[in-house]
Amino acid sequence: MDGVKNIVKERLQLHGIKPSLQRMAVMEYLMTHRTHPTADMIFTDLYPSIPTLSKATVYNTLNLLVERGVVRMITIEEKNARFDACMDPHIHFRCRECGAILDVDVEAHWIPNMPEGVIVDMSETYCIGSCAKCNSLREN
């Protein structure tokens, strides 16, 4: 077992998730692809190497991972939920033109003046515009 697989397995077990082959594959995919993929993208990429994988398994696995706080779901796109295994504080930028979703670093604990007595356990901030690649294509 290589290093990545060990980390994936530990991360699942730490959150009380039984590391089945399919769950391991979905988690490893998210940890090695920082593209914020949709469930369909994950399925399409994994299916050739795991023919026993079904779309339902990918959806169920993602739900479980989000529920247990191993992965976060990003609703930056109207049509599709996107998934992210990076739980460090960061926000997301979506390019309106090519659809790329990029990570944006932020200071931790930057939630401003919440009303008294409120406890925040989830916050998502989205920035939308055009990415550097699309901008440079337009200039040429």
- Nearest distance, CB of residue 127 and Zn ion, angstroms: 12
Which of 58, 74 has the CB closer to Zn ion? 74
Binder of Zn ion out of 22, 38, 95, 126 (CB under 5 A): 95
Find the Cα–Cα–Cα–Cα dihedral 4, 32, 15, 71, rounded to 10°: 170
Binder of Zn ion out of 98, 111, 127, 137 (CB under 5 A): 98
Q: Do the Cβ atoms of 101 and 35 come closer than 8 Å?
A: yes
- Nearest distance, CB of residue 54 and Zn ion, angstroms: 26
Read out DSSP for 65-93? Answer: HHHTTSSEEE--SSS--EEE---SSEEEE
> CA–CA separation, 24 vs 29, rounded Å?
8
Binder of Zn ion out of 46, 70, 84, 94 (CB under 5 A): 84
- Nearest distance, CB of residue 95 and Zn ion, angstroms: 3
Other CB atoms within 10 A of residue 33 CB: 15
- Nearest distance, CB of residue 85 and Zn ion, angstroms: 9
Verify binding: residue 30, Zn ion, rule CB under 5 A.
Answer: no
Verify binding: residue 77, Zn ion, rule CB under 5 A.
Answer: no
Q: Do the Cβ atoms of 62 and 22 come closer than 8 Å?
A: no
Under the rule (CB under 5 A), what is the footprint of Zn ion? 84, 95, 97-98, 100, 103, 131, 134
